Structure 1
């Protein structure tokens, strides 16, 4: 799982990244909305931990942009804004959770584990299965109606990218980048 932490408080950002790295996640860190946007042009993320109040923009606007580009990216808002209207707005924009500061790190890690567990179940982790087709990407094996299929490693990588981006048109350039 790849996570992007977008938090302008440097100490909190470092603490979150340290704890997530220690838990085994691949983590990138951004202190501003523009830096986070740059990361998103280079990499897709399974989860974004996002502050609402950023020095160069609004986390709600950034969430909207992310969801338009890649609707399956999970977002957890992490903010001092504890008003009910802000929480509702976060959920309406498609956030998985809304955590208000200050918070115990153990509670945040538990919320994160629940969201990531839900994502793994939803997208099948490293496999794809329906009534006819089964693909195991880690073992590079596939069957169609029980009969083995043969794909090249490149074809497995392309299928995995397409599977993780359902209902999204991916250009040739985007596919080559990934």
Structure 2
């Protein structure tokens, strides 16, 4: 049971955080229209709110594409993509430090053969592994939690995150820009 104590504490922290945001109504108000309007109303404060909400959203399971779509619709493909990239990296970093602070490297304590095998592969080439995971799963909160709890070093996490988010964000920007043009939103 001792092995699972830190994982349980992380789970309880995330559950309480989600409950607070769900029952306060904040989570329901973080949507595409709200984010878009904040950015349009005032670019500087809007982008700060956007980044803060991206960080919180990453902890409470709000999909990252909502933030990216809002930025692309408000700022266009290029500036929206850059704003999303910066906010995504900041968000992943905040999640890493929050979860690492609470849970340490709790996944290393598991004696499950599957977990040991995955961690061994991550240890072999951490940056390359993180780039691949980010390219496939972008800012998915479960990936952030797992990487933070894996014991991977922060600089490896950061480099892998920064490199791995480039391609998916570019593709999403083109996609959302195309959708916006198709329905005449820009």
Determine if the TM-score, normalized by the shorter chain, exceeds 0.5: no
Instruction: Indicate the structure with greater strand content.
Output: 1
Richer in helix (by share): 2
Normalising to structure 2: TM-score of the pair? 0.29
